[in-house]
Copies of this chain bind each other. A is one copy, B any other.
Amino acid sequence: MRFLHTSDWHLGRIFHGVHLTEDQAVVLDQFVNLVGDSKPDAVVIAGDVFDRAVPPPEAVQLLDETLSRILLDYQIPVIMIAGNHDSPERLGFGNRLLSRQGLHVVGPLASMNDPVVINDAAGPVYFLPMPYAESAVVRSLLDENAADCERAMQAQINHVLRQVPADARTVAIAHSFISGGESSESERFLSVGGVETVTAGVFSRFNYTALGHLHKPQTVGKPNIRYSGSLLKYSFSESDHEKGLYLVDINQQGEVSTERIKLAPRRDVRCVEGMLEDFLKRPKLGESVEDYLQITLQDDGPVLDPMGRLRAIYPNVLEIQRTQLNATGELRGPVADHRRLTDHDLFASFFEQVTGVKLNSEQEAGFAAALEEVYRDRREVAG
């Protein structure tokens, strides 16, 4: 039994103002070609297919196109669950009809009844889709004692295992935060005010656990409990990840082997640091100027229009940081309570922090004039 494990596509994602649909289309095209080349028995997508409950129409079209190619060109079944970013009902539309075409979408927990059984020469493998569901939903549908994420996951597992023979080969598909897993900045919390993690032990019965949610590819607890990682780097904190997916083989005895396959993005996400004048002398030979960049400038003192000048060379600079400001780890506020400062003193202090120099007399006059205008407007409203 051979299948591809992917997750966290986040179609429709906007990254620092940039719509990533084209970038996603590029890697999904590679993905579909990979499906055609590796001829797996199934494709598993472990949630967060869309970035939000109501994705933009072009993201819907991209998913439609991708899945239609896999199912119609290659006749390979797809098993997909809703993650915490998906709307279960929207993702699950048409699921009873689509499952007859080999597209098994499990959106709302309620519809999660049957395992998807796929056979190889050694017999059946049970794929057990467990969509993301809040503990409250699990309590109302499966187990009223599912007080937290851990017990909610356990309740889902107990529920699906009821339909599986004791000695069967099994693949769990889930979207949750396993304790010990390493998170990044682009995941959304699963629980507000409670413990959001689940211990890896709950998955010990399965031959393989295909996880979604954390964006870094990693194993948790055991070698066969894995996050595939996201399709692309969705935050600068992921700049050192290698994005891709797993090709998983399960043999007759239920032993698992995995192979990591990388996907090549249209544009990389990189964090670089240096002096502005050095950046302006670039690009270096072979450097991809189109990448999405977070540039940290080491310059002291004021820097005029760094974004405009850097973008002349690197059009996709998305964020500029300053080591000078980062050095203290926080803004160097005045010791006095800011509520007791005059507007003038508060602004002068802010200006000095951001630019590194004191307000000069011309700047002071400009600020005073702007402030007077604001006061005048307020008086007119009140008048």
Evaluate contact between A89 and B60: CB separation under 8 angstroms.
Answer: yes
Residue A162 CB within 8 A of the other chain: no
Closest B residue to A96 by beta carbon equals B68
Residue A360 CB within 8 A of the other chain: no
Evaluate contact between A103 and B97: CB separation under 8 angstroms.
Answer: yes
Residue A335 CB within 8 A of the other chain: no
Evaluate contact between B94 and A64: CB separation under 8 angstroms.
Answer: yes
Residues of B within 8 A of A71 (CB): 97
A93 to B54, CA, bound (A): 13
If A72-B96, A381-B382, A382-B378 touch, does A57 touch B103 (CB 8 Å cutoff)? no
- Which residues of chain A from 58 to 100 have a CB within 8 Å of any chain B CB? 58, 60-61, 63-64, 67-68, 71-72, 87-90, 92-98, 100
Residue A101 CB within 8 A of the other chain: yes
Evaluate contact between A94 and B89: CB separation under 8 angstroms.
Answer: no
Residues of B within 8 A of A89 (CB): 57-58, 60-61
Evaluate contact between A87 and B57: CB separation under 8 angstroms.
Answer: yes
| Chain B nearest CB, measured from A371 CB (Å) | 15
A67 to B95, CA, bound (A): 11
A193 to B170, CA, bound (A): 61
Instruction: Name A97's contact: one of B54, B60, B68, B381 (CB within 8 Å).
Output: B68
Residue A379 CB within 8 A of the other chain: yes
Residues of B within 8 A of A88 (CB): 57
Interface size on A, residues (CB 8 A): 29
| Chain B nearest CB, measured from A111 CB (Å) | 10
Residues of B within 8 A of A93 (CB): 60, 63-64, 93-94
Closest B residue to A92 by beta carbon equals B64
Evaluate contact between B103 and A94: CB separation under 8 angstroms.
Answer: yes
Residues of B within 8 A of A96 (CB): 64, 68, 72
| Chain B nearest CB, measured from A133 CB (Å) | 14
| Chain B nearest CB, measured from A342 CB (Å) | 16
| Chain B nearest CB, measured from A9 CB (Å) | 15
A97 to B73, CA, bound (A): 11
What 0/1 pattern do residues 245 to 277 of A give for CB contact below 8 A with B? 000000000000000000000000000000000
Residues of B within 8 A of A95 (CB): 64
| Chain B nearest CB, measured from A6 CB (Å) | 19
Residues of B within 8 A of A379 (CB): 382
Closest B residue to A88 by beta carbon equals B57
Closest B residue to A69 by beta carbon equals B96
Residues of B within 8 A of A87 (CB): 57
25 contacts between A and B (CB under 8 A): A54-B54, A57-B87, A57-B88, A57-B89, A58-B89, A60-B89, A63-B93, A64-B93, A64-B94, A67-B94, A68-B97, A71-B97, A72-B96, A72-B97, A93-B93, A93-B94, A94-B94, A97-B98, A97-B101, A97-B103, A98-B98, A98-B101, A101-B101, A379-B382, A382-B382
Top 5 A-B pairs, shortest CB-CB distance: A382-B382, A57-B89, A97-B101, A68-B96, A378-B382
Other than the given A72-B97, A94-B94, 12 more pairs (CB < 8 A) read A54-B54, A57-B88, A58-B89, A63-B93, A64-B93, A68-B94, A68-B97, A97-B98, A98-B98, A100-B101, A101-B101, A379-B382
